[in-house]
């Protein structure tokens, strides 16, 4: 199973041709993809029309959810603090939640975001090759 970050989903819905989008397309053809709820929120807020919003929602909510319990959210905060102590500033709380969710579920993350590459260098986060 893999999880997919917001930017890759956005590119896929926008019809962008990129290695990440091609990898997502292959995954949608037969691989398990887990959905992190905050990614659902980020992706859906980007749609301009109700029809596009509804079609995307229907596709995304059919995927298995990857969630954190309260201890997982505490671990995401610890992750942010641990990285900051090492001089690595992750731009957002959401990235730490996404990374911690992937580590807790032991799934790879498909992402083009450089923050996740930095997180992966210092944690057990595994990135999915595009």
Which pLDDT value is given to residue 70?
A: 98
Q: Side-chain half-sphere of 85: how many Cα atoms within 13 Å? A: 7
Which pLDDT value is given to residue 92?
A: 84
- Give residue limits of the domains in the chain: 2-61, 70-105+112-122
Torsion (CA) 92, 93, 97, 98 in degrees, nearest 10: -10
Which pLDDT value is given to residue 91?
A: 83
Which pLDDT value is given to residue 86?
A: 93
Which pLDDT value is given to residue 111?
A: 96
Which pLDDT value is given to residue 130?
A: 78
Which pLDDT value is given to residue 45?
A: 97
Beta bridge partners of 109: 3, 127
Which pLDDT value is given to residue 51?
A: 97
Positions in the chain whose pLDDT score sits under 50 = none
Which pLDDT value is given to residue 89?
A: 87
């Amino acid at each position: 199973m893999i999880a997919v970050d917001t930017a890759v989903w956005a590119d896929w819905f926008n019809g962008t041709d990129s290695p990440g989008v091609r990898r997502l397309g292959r995954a949608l053809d037969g691989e398990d993809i887990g959905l992190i709820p905050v990614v659902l929120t980020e992706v859906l807020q980007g749609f301009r029309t109700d029809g596009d919003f509804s079609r995307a929602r229907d596709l995304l909510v059919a995927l298995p959810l990857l969630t954190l319990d309260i201890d997982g959210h505490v671990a995401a905060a610890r992750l942010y603090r641990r990285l900051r102590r090492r001089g690595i500033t992750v731009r957002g709380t959401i990235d730490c939640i996404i990374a911690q969710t992937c580590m807790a579920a032991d799934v790879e993350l498909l992402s083009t975001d450089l923050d996740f590459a930095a997180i992966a260098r210092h944690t057990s986060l595994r990135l999915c090759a595009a």
